[in-house]
Structure 1
Amino acid sequence: MTTVSLRHARVRYGPVEALHGVTLAAPGPGLTLLLGRNGSGRTTALRALAGAVPLSGGAVVWDGTDVTHVPAYERARRGMCLVPERQAVFGSLTVRENLDLVAPGHDAALEAYPELRPLLDRRAGTLSGGEQRMLALSRALLARARVVLIDEPAQGMAPAVAARTYEVLAGLRACVVIAEQRLPPALRDRQALVYELRRGTVVFAGEAGELRRYLG
């Protein structure tokens, strides 16, 4: 078991406060979804958990330990993996080289995304958006992290590949936190903890089924 949480977290970008005292907890193994429109704070919350943006107030707690001032690279070393929405792969390297940076053997990643096999010698920067997402997620799978933070994992993917992606993420023995604009259809019947954010505050917290009733 592992849990990452924000406690009364505040994040500022210059004069603008993006998170207004957000409190949420993501237990694992399992899925936690951060939902909200652009500007809601969902991506900022994800990046705050990873240490990619500093807090101006509040705390980040991981398994009962305050890691607010632990840098992102140290959180990564301890088993936290962030897959951002953009610039999640090394565009100048080949697909094979991107995977080799994480682990020399990439059979597990190619089992999840066999579409990457014929692309191993292509430079990542020449891939389509969906192919780059598959590569970024493959890197995360190879990392075998205890906490996986992903911003819009299925962006640009075909529906069948997107459904497979959510299936893979739901099966990980890790604390998986996903930021999305809305609840993905593939996860509507999954057991998942859901937080909906609006304008930097949490307006709903509960199970996925409760969210459907909340939205009517």
Structure 2
Amino acid sequence: MLDVKDVHLHYGAAIALRGVSMQARAGQVTCVLGRNGVGKTSLIRAITGMHATSSGRIGWEGEDITGLPAYDRARRGIATVPQGRDIFPLLSVRENLETGFALLPRGQRRVRDEIFDLFPVLAQMLDRRGGDLSGGQQQQLAIARALVIRPRLLVLDEPTEGIQPSIIKDIGAIIGMLRDQGDMAIVLVEQYFDFAFELADNITVLDRGRVVLAGQARELMAEDVRAFITI
């Protein structure tokens, strides 16, 4: 289980997170919602170790990982799909997928067939450069690359951004399948309300760096959540 407790995060004098707490459990999708600039990406950076917290605690599978660098968290099974995808445009699809091998024991350094079952289009494009793929194909590659390390926590930062509706539907189905396997916790940061609300088991809503609404999705009123997302 991921357990974020009373986390504060600063960028210089600016406060991005103010006492944020949340949890994410295996077999569930925890959605983090909110408008632009309210701290959603900062929370991801705190969870994955991309930015140091000012105070608070981040626990993962019973261990305090607050002070660990990003690569040590990745070795503990925490993978992220960043906003904007951040694939390597000059590397092939195959080479992009293989960038995760450094985190795996030598005997596990292969792209499992299950990944191509989830993303069959990638199997047909292994030798194409990442930069030549469409936006939707790049997003699928970014998710597949994260899955290469066999994560137990998958963190996705706005995976629907700039993606055509048909691919959004496919990505939603894949997130649902990963959740239903039961051995992975998923944190989904989104602004696309309908996509997130359909997938969410739990919801955490941020506003101005604070948690303003949280709970099980089935117990929250959609209108209450939308009030903190719409401008």
Is the TM-score greater than 0.5?
yes
Structure 2 residue matching 1:28: 3-state secondary structure:
coil
For structure 1, the 5+ residue unaligned runs are: none
Partner Cα separation in structure 1 for residue 174 and residue 164 of structure 2: 15
**Deviating 4+ runs (over 4 angstroms):** none
Q: Indicate which of 205, 209, 216 corresponds to 2:214.
A: 205
RMSD: 1.9
Structure 1 residue matching 2:124: 3-state secondary structure:
helix
TM-score by length of 1: 0.90
Kept in 1, the 8 Å contact 2:33–2:40? The answer is yes
For structure 2, the 5+ residue unaligned runs are: 101-108, 227-231
Amino acid across the alignment from 2:207: R
Amino acid across the alignment from 1:157: I
**1:147 corresponds to:** 153
Partner Cα separation in structure 2 for residue 72 and residue 92 of structure 1: 24
**1:71 corresponds to:** 69
**1:109 corresponds to:** 115
Alignment of 1:1-216 (within 5 A): 3-86=1-84, 88-102=86-100, 103-172=109-178, 173-185=183-195, 187-190=196-199, 192-209=201-218, 210-215=220-225
CA deviation after TM superposition for structure 1 residue 87, in Å: 5.0
CA deviation after TM superposition for structure 1 residue 106, in Å: 4.7
The number of aligned residues is 213
Structure 1 residue matching 2:15: 3-state secondary structure:
strand
> Which structure features the higher share of strand residues?
1
Kept in 2, the 8 Å contact 1:40–1:198? The answer is yes
Judged with a 3 Å threshold, the aligned counterparts in structure 2 of structure 1 residues 142 and 68 are, in CA distance, closer, same or farther, namely same
Partner Cα separation in structure 2 for residue 104 and residue 63 of structure 1: 26
Judged with a 3 Å threshold, the aligned counterparts in structure 2 of structure 1 residues 55 and 191 are, in CA distance, closer, same or farther, namely closer
Partner Cα separation in structure 1 for residue 223 and residue 130 of structure 2: 42
TM-score by length of 2: 0.84
